[in-house]
Structure 1
């Protein structure tokens, strides 16, 4: 997983992407190492200017994570890929509006 993490973060910088979707639909189990790795990926991507969203956490996995006290605090999660794309579209639009220079009012 550390190789995946390093490759992903390097690609974020190379492509200057604004969003990362991590699809965990196929995972039946997430242990503390996997959760910590996902959280680290999200935090590193944010430092490189990209938002991260985790999609597809299965109900049994979510239940087990809660029982074990494992959290993805500070990391967005949604049900599926479609919602993940919509989430990132909203977030990048919000960031664009926040960073766009304000036009002078012309009054003076």
Structure 2
């Protein structure tokens, strides 16, 4: 199997899912589902979201996000020959 790769840098938005948890005392814990190491605690929901956003922006200023695509190219012929005229040529017995 041959692997072809491409990488190109571009500016894009980062969409994440935020988990908000209300503690017994009414304070909030906010974390990013895709990046669980980023979590904050605050007195209110708005403060928690603001603090989490600031933390993420601060981190993203130091890194580069690069979309990366791996293209897999299959070099082997298919296991089952294509159908012609409604009949399968050289039928291969099913392993089941």
TM-score of the pair, normalised by structure 1? 0.32
Q: Which structure has greater strand proportion?
A: 2
Q: Which structure has greater helix proportion?
A: 1
Structure 1 or 2, whichever has the larger Rg, is 2
TM-score of the pair, normalised by structure 2? 0.35
